[in-house]
Amino acid sequence: MIEVKGVCKSFDDITALNNLTLNMKEEEVFGLVGTNGAGKSTLLRIMTGVLEADKGEVIVDGKQVFDNPKAKENIFLIPDDPYYFPNSTVSEMMGYYSSVYRKFDKNKFSYLLENFDLQGNRRISTFSKGMRKQLAILLGICSNTKYLLCDETFDGLDPVMRQAAKMLFAKEMDERGLTPILTSHNLRELEDICDHVGLVHKGGVLLSRELSDMKLNIRKVQVVYQNEEEQRKAESHMDILLHENRGKVHTYTVRMPEAELEMCFEHVNTILLETLPLTLEEIFICETEVVGYDIKNII
């Protein structure tokens, strides 16, 4: 388990993280999402011990991570823009990582290289952005760490490679208990793989919940009323986060359990009443609008 306890980090007069607290359970896919500049990348670097927190601490399986090689050997970070030694080949980078991570599996790496059609003797400087990201994922997987932290995990990968990466994560979770921690601005990519989601904004946590629970507490409903009086009656009992109106069709995003929502319309005369599936992207928009991160304030 990774415990982030009251972490603060500033760069000169810029506050990147402000008393941030999160828990990341073992053998779950944790999705870390947030607004631009929320501090996600800074948090990942503190979690791996690359950066030191100004205040607070990160505990990995009971050990403080900063300046602690025993804790760090359980964590591999794939940054948004992976760094490779100048003019290095794939094989040379494998040699480096196998010297750092004692559990590195060279046989598995060679097997995956062939499957991903990456040549071991090729210079990485000749790779495309997607190929560099593929290589970083393979190095991370084959390092056999317990925790794999991936910043903008699927950025630059084509649809086939994105699916292949997800299948690799799932296979490693099943076979050896890997715990992936993923960040991405493409929330649809995270929605079909994450068990738990943490939403950060301006260096703090807005929410941290099981994805299934988030979808239970926020729901979307589409309604056509018989008249305006019926509309006012229903709206007076709803906790409305978003309300869109196109002609006679009203679409609400509300924060309330299903039973309570049903009670709101129990004595309301409607022509159409339908509950719609809610995406992680819609939940993100709703939660951040509550704290003022709203498209209407930008445009």
What torsion, rounded to 10 degrees, do the Cα atoms 22, 24, 29, 31 define? 10
Q: What's the confidence (pLDDT) of residue 298?
A: 38
As a whole number of angstroms, the distance between CA 160 and CA 164 comes to 6
As a whole number of angstroms, the distance between CA 185 and CA 209 comes to 18
Helix (H, G, I), strand (E, B) or coil at 129: helix
As a whole number of angstroms, the distance between CA 42 and CA 287 comes to 22
Q: What's the confidence (pLDDT) of residue 17?
A: 94
pLDDT average, residue stretch 121-134: 94
Q: What's the confidence (pLDDT) of residue 292?
A: 57
Q: What's the confidence (pLDDT) of residue 150?
A: 94
DSSP H or E stretch at residue 47:
helix 40-47
Q: What's the confidence (pLDDT) of residue 202?
A: 83
Q: What's the confidence (pLDDT) of residue 291?
A: 56
Stated pTM of the model: 0.81
Answer yes or no: are the C-beta atoms of 119 and 90 closer than 8 Å.
Answer: yes
| Residue ranges per structural domain of the chain | 2-202, 213-298
Q: Give the tens place of pLDDT for each residue, 192-245.
A: 888 998 888 888 888 788 877 776 678 889 999 999 999 999 999 998 888 989
Residue matched to tokens 């900063």: 66
Percent of the chain at pLDDT > 70 equals: 96
Structure tokens at 150: 């991936």
Domain 2-202 sits in CATH at 3.40.50.300
As a whole number of angstroms, the distance between CA 8 and CA 43 comes to 9
**Assigned CATH topology for domain 213-298:** Alpha-Beta Plaits (3.30.70)
Residue 185's pLDDT band (boundaries 50, 70, 90)? confident
Q: What's the confidence (pLDDT) of residue 290?
A: 60
Answer yes or no: are the C-beta atoms of 4 and 58 closer than 8 Å.
Answer: yes
Phi and psi torsions of 88, nearest 5°: -80, 155
Q: Within 10 A of 188 (CB to CB), how many other CB atoms are there?
A: 10
Q: Find the distance separating the first CA and the last CA of the chain, reported in whole Å.
A: 41
Pairing verdict, β 63-64 and 218-225: unpaired
Phi and psi torsions of 157, nearest 5°: -90, 140
Q: Give the tens place of pLDDT for each residue, 30-64.
A: 999 887 888 999 999 999 999 999 999 999 999 99
